[in-house]
């Protein structure tokens, strides 16, 4: 049953289940206390003003914890699950724990996104809540997903401008999947002082976790560490914060920015970049970009 909601072979069953979960949502929302979650604006401001780190949880990380399922880009691993629970329950100064926008508000989301989050919350939250604290202040994991699922997109340019202030004037070490190529072909990181890249596996990156951490330790704590590496990024941001770095799990930010620049109204494939949520987006061509290749300082594949 736990895998049924994502089954592609039984699509009609999934659609019925999603509708049932949506009907249950108002009852759940009115009877079960929800965690306190800051807005996207408040989350970005906290990171910029206090140079905070953030570990982000999406529906994938929650399903990994609750239903112990494989994700498209990360096989199930008991150790990774235990670490995700540890970080979710953590309380470190200037380290933020981000949970999805659906736990903050459904306002201004497109209809499909509202349906998605209502069903996900009903499916996940009753079993997830034991790992959360009603007294704790959580932040918004959707701080990097600031375009395609919004109904009114008129404020998205302002949000991207605020987001870019995180790395403005900073020396950046970017840890990303080998085909992600964040910022290539756009100006996402144009205001950073410098940009170096560590390439990690685009699938099952947790298998290289210790090697990645050891490589980052070679860099000064003055570097801002940006991470786009699925569930591995969630715990990596936490561990690097404990080592004295500002580490920000940026996830899908570059793809969202590409969709913003294209004024896309759906999740479309971006040429030359791993686009996990778009049809055909996991088949990625090689690129010939001298600037990008010069930025790659280490491959841990």
In this prediction, residue 138 has a pLDDT band, given cuts at 50, 70 and 90, of very high
Percent of the chain at pLDDT exceeding 70: 97
pLDDT of 299 > 60? The answer is yes
The pairing of strands 246-249 and 224-228 is: parallel
Separation of alpha carbons 79 and 231, rounded Å: 12
Angle between helices 209-216 and 231-242 (to 10 degrees): 40
- Provide the edge-to-edge strand list for the sheet that holds 224-228: 36-37, 137-140, 95-99, 53-56, 246-249, 224-228, 171-177, 194-200, 296-299
pLDDT value, residue 3: 53
Q: What is the mean pLDDT of residues 281-298?
A: 96
Does residue 2 carry a pLDDT above 60? no
| pLDDT over 70 (residue 4) | no
Residue extents of the structural domains in the chain: 4-299
Residue 1 pLDDT exceeds 80: no
Query: Where are the alpha helices (H) located in 129-279, listed in sequence order?
Result: 156-164, 209-216, 231-242, 253-262
Give the Cβ contact number of residue 293 at 10 Å. 10
Query: What confidence category does residue 115 fall into, taking pLDDT thresholds of 50, 70 and 90?
Result: very high
Closest among 77, 55, 81 to 143, alpha carbons compared: 55
The C-alpha angle 72, 76, 77, rounded to 5 degrees, equals 140
Residue 120 has pLDDT above 70, yes or no: yes
Asked if the model's pLDDT at residue 289 lies above 90, the reply is: yes
The pLDDT of residue 67 is above 60: yes
Report the pLDDT averaged over residues 211-229: 98
How high is the pLDDT of residue 7? 55
Is pLDDT above 60 for 92?
A: yes
| Helix, strand, coil shares, percent, the chain, to 5 | 45, 15, 40
């Amino acid at each position: 049953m736990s895998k049924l909601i994502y089954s592609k072979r039984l699509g009609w069953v999934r659609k019925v289940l999603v509708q049932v979960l949506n009907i249950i949502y108002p009852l759940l929302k009115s009877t079960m206390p929800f965690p306190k979650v800051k807005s996207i604006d408040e989350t970005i401001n906290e990171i910029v003003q206090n140079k905070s780190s953030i570990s982000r949880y999406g529906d994938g990380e929650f399903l990994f914890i609750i239903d112990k399922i494989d994700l498209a880009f990360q096989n199930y691993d008991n150790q990774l699950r235990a670490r995700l629970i540890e970080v979710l329950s953590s309380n470190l100064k200037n380290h933020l724990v981000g949970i999805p926008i659906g736990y903050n508000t459904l306002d201004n989301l497109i209809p499909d996104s509202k349906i998605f989050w209502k069903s996900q919350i009903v499916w996940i939250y009753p079993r997830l809540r034991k790992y959360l604290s009603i007294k704790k202040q959580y932040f918004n994991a959707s701080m990097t997903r600031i375009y395609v699922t919004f109904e009114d997109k008129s404020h998205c340019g302002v949000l991207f401008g605020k987001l870019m202030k995180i790395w403005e004037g900073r020396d950046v070490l970017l840890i990303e999947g080998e085909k992600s190529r964040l910022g290539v072909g756009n100006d996402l990181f144009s205001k950073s002082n410098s940009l170096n890249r560590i390439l990690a596996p685009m699938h099952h990156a947790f298998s290289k976790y210790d090697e990645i951490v050891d490589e980052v330790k070679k860099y000064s704590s003055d570097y801002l560490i940006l991470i786009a590496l699925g569930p591995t990024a969630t715990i990596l941001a936490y561990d690097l914060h404990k080592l004295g770095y500002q580490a920000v799990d940026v996830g899908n930010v570059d793809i969202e920015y590409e969709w913003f620049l294209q004024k896309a109204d759906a999740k479309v494939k971006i040429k030359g970049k791993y686009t996990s949520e778009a049809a055909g987006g996991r088949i990625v061509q090689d690129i010939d970009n001298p600037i990008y290749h010069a930025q790659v300082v280490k491959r841990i594949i």
